[in-house]
Structure 1
Amino acid sequence: MVAELHKRFQGTPLYSKLDIRIGDVLKATLPAFDVCVANLPYQISSPFVFKLLLHRPIFRCAVLMFQQEFAQRLVAKPGSKLYCRLTVNTQLLAKVDHLMKVGKNNFKPPPKVESSVVRIEPRNPLPNINFQEWDGLLRIAFVRKSKTLLAAFKQTAVMKTLLTNYRVWCAKHNRKFPEDFDMKAKVEAVLEECGMLQSRARSMEQEDFMKLLLAFNKAGIHFS
């Protein structure tokens, strides 16, 4: 690829502006940029998307080629089979549009999968939330997205983590930790207050997750 780029630009007015850097893009510190155009190794699609979306200063847009199923997850709607944690996280931080499908026969040699090109435009300003908290909530909700939220939260490991976080929250706010505290009951009360005891992540809108996160935080329940 490096040799091909040099070959194509050498002798053109743009050659003096060409800056080729060889390395692992996931480990590299990206400079400020306006537009990103990339055909990525498909196995780094997810970490690269979030590296871009958390990059500062905010860029104008990115046009990227992905494996078709991954691209469809980025633009999926609630209720869709492909709707997942990746979908909600990406759409929280950016507007995503599917631009075109790219058939496998456009490549030599042809890959085993179909591809798609998407346009990602970061939201500006970004939502005023703690992304680690947000993602922590989604990890629980989407671990089995067809389960009710009540069932997802009642898992032993989840309750243990939330209880630890609640103890930390009480200590930070100089609140005595109740001896008879019941985390399951507290979580259930928050879900009931939000009208989401029987809600399932697969069909929830972004606004539903936002409402739920704010309600949990108000009750002292945190996810990071």
Structure 2
Amino acid sequence: MAGGKIQKKRQVGGGGRARLQGGIPFEKSKGQHILKNPALVDSIIAKAGLKPTDTVLEIGPGTGNLTKRLLEAGVKAVVAVELDPRMVLELSRRFQGHPLLAHNDWILQIGQCWVIQGDVLKCDLPYFDICVANIPYQISSPLTFKLLSHPPIFRCAVIMFQREFAMRLVAQPGDTLYCRLSVNVQLLSRVSHLLKVGRNNFRPPPKVDSSVVRIEPRKPLPPVSFKEWDGLVRVCFNRKNKTLGAIFKQKRVLELLEKNYKTMQSLQLAQDSEMGEEKMSPDDVAVLANMVEDLSMETCDEKEDDEMEMDDADMAGDGRASLKEKIMGTLQQGDFADKRSSKLSQVDFLYSLSLFNKAGVHFS
């Protein structure tokens, strides 16, 4: 099974590269690590809460240690997505006792196990009830949001992540690791930490520890535009330890909101009779798949503050003056002016967004 950033290749015997069972060498670019502890595999299976009717999605099956246990658990089917064609051949060899029903360049069916050869971030995923996986850690962010935007909504995902990434997913307001990633994932799902996994449970051991996390998509999705939500959160967490009052006085922020304000005023004139409450859809959530490069392991330290605040004199005769008054008034109305993003809950962000939108201030 694959997952994690690979460390320097171990020397085996007379200087050979570290290899998987069957003599296949590891590839650093694919983040390949094999979960070798059978007790840990059993624990992951137990915590997944599998049912006989479940179709299980596994990502990065590698040589099939987890795949084998999933099949033995008696689920309806396992769909495994594997990028490395050598691993696909290894899976075929390992499960050759199962009847081979179909085979082509893209998909292989071995009994109740379907193996899709391809990049999980690029291929269309089939229906599944639950995802159980130890993933290559470099795809943690885009994969998480791809799963959360997958229709129809699945029951849950039990995934092994690099420990620091996992702790960002479950971080709460006030925690050191609480960040934009935490807020966005928790808007769309309930996230819980299941167990910590030491690096020595893998062959070869990665440089970092891991954690297994359970992600349960919210049903229904919150009644909010995701573009608006992510726009607000992005602004707030750009300087998460500054007060919101200070953040929204920055010249760059005011220029952005002024542009949005003028755009929304024009749209409203044309669409007043048709507009209703904005709601989030899976397509709306999918937008985040193109925004996650800076979400995966973002620092919790503030960036160097080189942004200028714009005072009233700077904005004299400028349309931003009235907009600034709207923004400051909205922050005061919600008692947010002196609060910091690092301390705000999901409810706080939702409430502040509703107040901004009612005042005609938009973030997308």
Matched, 1:2 2:97: no
Match of 2:327 in 1: 187
- Which moves more between the two structures, 86-95 or 29-38? 29-38
- The equivalent of 2:116 in structure 1 is 21
2:102 alignment partner in structure 1: none
Indicate the residue corresponding to 1:161 in structure 2. 256
66-75 or 34-43, which deviates more: 34-43
Q: Distance in 2 between matches of 1:45 and 1:7?
A: 29
Give per-residue Cα distances to partners, 1:119-149, cap 9 Å, x unaligned: 1111111111111110110001111211111
Root mean square deviation of aligned Cα: 1.8
- Summarize the Cα distance change of 1:213–1:111 in structure 2 as closer, same or farther, 3 Å threshold: same
Residue matched to 1:220:
360
Say whether residues 1:200 and 2:286 are aligned partners: no
Partner AA of 1:59 in structure 2 = F
**Identity, % of aligned positions:** 57
Letter in 2 for 1:195: D
> What's the TM-score, normalizing by structure 2?
0.58
Rounded to whole Å, the distance in 2 between the matches of 1:111 and 1:181 is: 51
**Per-residue deviation, 1:179:** 7.5
Q: Does 1:109 align with 2:249?
A: no
The separation in 1 between residues aligned to 2:94 and 2:156, in whole angstroms, is: 25
Aligned-pair CA distance for 1:64: 0.6
Look up the equivalent residue of 1:11 and give its one-letter code. Answer: G
Matched position secondary structure for 1:19: strand
Cα separation, partners in 2 of 1:180 and 1:143, compared to 1, 3 Å: closer
User: Quick check: which has more Rg, 1 or 2?
Assistant: 2
Distance (Å, rounded) in 2 between the aligned partners of 1:67 and 1:158: 33
C-alpha distance after superposition, 1:100-134 (max 9, x if no partner):
11111111111111101111111111111111110
Mark the runs of 5 or more structure 2 residues left unpaired by the alignment: 1-86, 100-108, 271-316
Residue 12 of structure 1 deviates from its aligned partner by 3.2
1:146-187 Cα shifts (integer Å, max 9, x gaps): 111112222222111110110011112229xx9855222221
**Mapping of residues 55-134 of structure 1, within 5 Å:** 55-134=150-229
Q: Which residue of 2 aligns with 1:142?
A: 237
**CA apart distance, 1:77:** 1.1
CA contact (8 A) 2:197 2:210 kept: yes
Task: Work out whether 1:211 is the aligned partner of 2:351.
Answer: yes
Shift of 1:17: 2.8
Which blocks of at least 5 consecutive residues in structure 1 are unaligned? none
C-alpha offsets along residues 11-43 of structure 1, whole Å, 9 cap, x if unaligned?
Answer: 137932322112221112222211111211111
3-state SS of paired residue (1:2): helix
Moved more, 139-148 or 22-31: 22-31
Q: Which amino acid is the alignment partner of residue 258 of structure 2?
A: L
Say if 2:139 is the partner of 1:44.
Answer: yes
In 2, the alpha carbon distance for the partners of 1:8 and 1:129 equals 47
- Give the distance between the partners of 1:30 and 1:152, measured in 2 at CA: 40
Distance 1:51 1:184 in 2: 36
Q: Report which of the two has the higher share of helix.
A: 1
Do the aligned residues in 1 keep the contact of 2:258 with 2:320 (CA within 8 Å)? Answer: no
SS at structure 2 position matched to 1:44: helix
Instruction: Please give the alpha-carbon distance, in whole angstroms, between the structure 2 residues aligned to 1:157 and 1:179.
Output: 15
